[in-house]
Amino acid sequence: MTGESADPTPSDDPGGPREPRTWIERIGLAAVALALALMFGGVGYAAWLGGELFLAVIGAISCVMTLWVGVLTLIRR
């Protein structure tokens, strides 16, 4: 340490207002979220069938959270 204080703001932050994503970008991100949610749901279902309750709950929660983010991606302005 040289005794210099670290700058709390990153130097590559452009600042200013952010532009909203285009619809094609939103739909693509929501599709990726849907694919991941299906995988998490599959893990949860397979774990449930295998008797692994904890893993099944974690898979189900991950599935719901990923779907939630996918929907928010579509409706966010």
Global confidence as pTM:
0.72
- Does residue 56 fall inside a structural domain? yes
DSSP 35: H
- Does residue 44 fall inside a structural domain? yes
CB atoms under 10 Å from CB of 11, counted, come to: 5
**How many folded domains does the chain comprise?**
1
pLDDT digits (tens, 9 = 90+) for 36-47: 999 999 999 999
pLDDT digits (tens, 9 = 90+) for 64-77: 999 999 999 999 86
Q: Residue 3: which pLDDT band, with cuts at 50, 70 and 90?
A: low
- Does residue 45 fall inside a structural domain? yes
- Does residue 15 fall inside a structural domain? no
pLDDT at 17: 80
Query: Average pLDDT, stretch 4-15?
Result: 62
- Please report, rounded to a whole number, the percentage of residues in the chain having pLDDT higher than 70: 81
- Does residue 16 fall inside a structural domain? no
Domain that holds residue 35: 31-75
- Does residue 46 fall inside a structural domain? yes
- Does residue 9 fall inside a structural domain? no
